[in-house]
Structure 1
Amino acid sequence: MTLPVGSFINMAAVVGGGALGMLLGARLPDRVRAIVFQGLGLCTMVIGMQMAFKTANPLIMIFSILSGAIIGELLRLEDAFARAGEALKAKLRSGNPRFTDGFVTATLLFCIGSMAILGPFDEGLRGDRTIVLTKSILDCFAAIALASAYGVGVLFSALPLFLYQGSLTLFAGVLQPLLGPAVMNELTATGGLMVIGIGINLLELKRIPLANMLPALLTAVLLASIFM
């Protein structure tokens, strides 16, 4: 069993980038922070589109998002994420009004996507950390931008990131047969739609409760395994 060293490095990159973002954010005028935030939102939407176009069967992606959103709404996953963020905020006695938004947004951004799965898998199965280290660099820069606007809540997204990716590394051998290329494409495409939603939230065009859509990822794996 391979230890999730790459995920630990990814966690450290998010914390380091977030700390730098907080340092820079305190020195940036509000108008500069706003344009940085908007730029990040636009880039996030483009990345999400690239991911979404990987689908070979749009019906799987559409049904996964719709059914997953219904399941998540019934389970009130967004509220659970918010409560976790508020609990952290209270424990730290933080007065930052955007703490929870930063925690939820950063957690979703760092944990959704093919690199968040393939990286830990490559580390667990082959000991190859190339993908997860590349993701660490990307996440570091994203954390800088997010933390400059959201604050300390972004740093604490590193904990669920480590638990998620670390678990994939530890159990890569068990999960590999379930995630063939066709399944990964549909999983990536479904995650891409959610990443587009993150961009929409960052641009403040419309508030989408994306945590409620997380079951869509499991639905995509199930449907792709059956029909692809």
Structure 2
Amino acid sequence: MALWGSIINALAIMVGGLLGSLVLPRIPEGIRNTVMQGLGIAIAVLGITMALKSENFLIVIISIAVGGILGEVMRIEYRLNQLGHWVESQFRREEKTGPTNRGGIAEGFVTATLIYCIGAMAILGSIDSGLRHNHDILYTKSMLDGISAVILSSTLGIGVTLSAVPVFLYQGTIALTSTLFTLFISEADLSAVITEVTAVGGVLIIGIGLNILHIKNINVANLLPSIVIAAVIVLAELSLH
């Protein structure tokens, strides 16, 4: 079943998010800040290691530039935040939470969605699930995401739990789509695409780390089209050879 790994990943995020937001929400502020800072540093380092995997960094630069323009025109960051605020408004009937609250549902939803969706494991794991029905990568990612969801949700709230939905849709779509790739692209070409897409994702992951550390507010969501642009550039380059 191509979607099994994505289902397990979504469940792990939900369980971890509920545990952190409902059972462990009163972790001392000093501990939460220190853990979040450590998490931000780790995420930035992960992004660097991913970005360095590129075999042609010019593709990464062009993808970021073009993707950033498209993202700004599409206002992805704004729309994703609006979706988070809408979800937050549904919870105000039981708990009044302002949309600008740092621990509000919107921030938790957006931050967690970006962290869990952008990365080598999400892409590679979903593709492996779709092509070979091998879910080992997503099983490993599920354990990591479940643990981080506990920490994130204890700080950012229940919005982290809701990120399980876009994570499932994102990874599930990749898994199902990848089953069609073997009809049109060779394994070597697919590997080349994954390499550059992973590198671009690494740059975005660095941005997420900087956001968590509050070093610089980067509109990471507006850079998401860069991942698609990278794949298109690699495929176009391969078609010319």
TM-score (norm. length: structure 1): 0.94
The C-alpha deviation readout for 1:143-197, integer Å capped at 9, x for no partner, is 1121111011110000000111112222222135456111111000000000000
**Conserved? CA contact 2:124–2:194, under 8 Å:** no
1:175 corresponds to 2:176: no
1:195 corresponds to 2:205: yes
- Tell me what 2:21 maps to: 22
Q: State, as a whole percentage, how many aligned pairs show the same letter.
A: 43
- Tell me what 1:5 maps to: 4
Q: CA deviation at 1:92?
A: 2.0
Q: Partners in 1 of 2:196 and 2:19 — Cα distance?
A: 35
Q: Partners in 1 of 2:108 and 2:202 — Cα distance?
A: 20
Q: CA deviation at 1:80?
A: 0.6
Q: Which amino acid letter does the alignment assign opposite residue 51 of structure 1? A: M
Q: Partners in 2 of 1:211 and 1:198 — Cα distance?
A: 9
The C-alpha deviation readout for 1:205-225, integer Å capped at 9, x for no partner, is 111111100110011001111
1:91 corresponds to 2:90: yes
| Among candidates 183, 206, 218, match of residue 228 of structure 2 | 218
- Tell me what 1:61 maps to: 60
Q: Which amino acid letter does the alignment assign opposite residue 11 of structure 1? A: A
Q: CA deviation at 1:3?
A: 4.4
Q: Which amino acid letter does the alignment assign opposite residue 68 of structure 1? A: G
Q: Partners in 2 of 1:5 and 1:58 — Cα distance?
A: 34
Q: Partners in 1 of 2:90 and 2:232 — Cα distance?
A: 38
**Conserved? CA contact 2:67–2:223, under 8 Å:** yes
**Conserved? CA contact 2:2–2:133, under 8 Å:** no
The C-alpha deviation readout for 1:49-107, integer Å capped at 9, x for no partner, is 01000001111101111111111001111011011101111112253422211111110
Q: Partners in 2 of 1:8 and 1:64 — Cα distance?
A: 30
Q: Partners in 1 of 2:81 and 2:11 — Cα distance?
A: 23
**Conserved? CA contact 1:85–1:103, under 8 Å:** yes
Q: Once superposed, which parts of structure 1, at least 4 consecutive aligned residues long, lie more than 6 Å away?
A: none
Q: Which amino acid letter does the alignment assign opposite residue 142 of structure 1? A: S
Structure 1 residues 66-215: aligned runs within 5 Å = 66-93=65-92, 94-96=95-97, 97=101, 98-176=104-182, 177=184, 180-215=190-225
Q: Partners in 2 of 1:85 and 1:175 — Cα distance?
A: 33
Q: Which amino acid letter does the alignment assign opposite residue 86 of structure 2? A: A
- Tell me what 1:37 maps to: 36
Q: CA deviation at 1:227?
A: 2.4
Q: Which amino acid letter does the alignment assign opposite residue 132 of structure 1? A: L
The C-alpha deviation readout for 1:93-123, integer Å capped at 9, x for no partner, is 2534222111111101111112112212222
TM-score (norm. length: structure 2): 0.89
Q: Partners in 2 of 1:140 and 1:180 — Cα distance?
A: 29
Flag the 1:133–1:24 CA change in 2: closer, same or farther, 3 A. Answer: same
**Conserved? CA contact 1:186–1:221, under 8 Å:** yes
Number of equivalences: 227
Q: Partners in 1 of 2:27 and 2:130 — Cα distance?
A: 41
**Conserved? CA contact 1:14–1:140, under 8 Å:** yes
Flag the 1:145–1:119 CA change in 2: closer, same or farther, 3 A. Answer: same
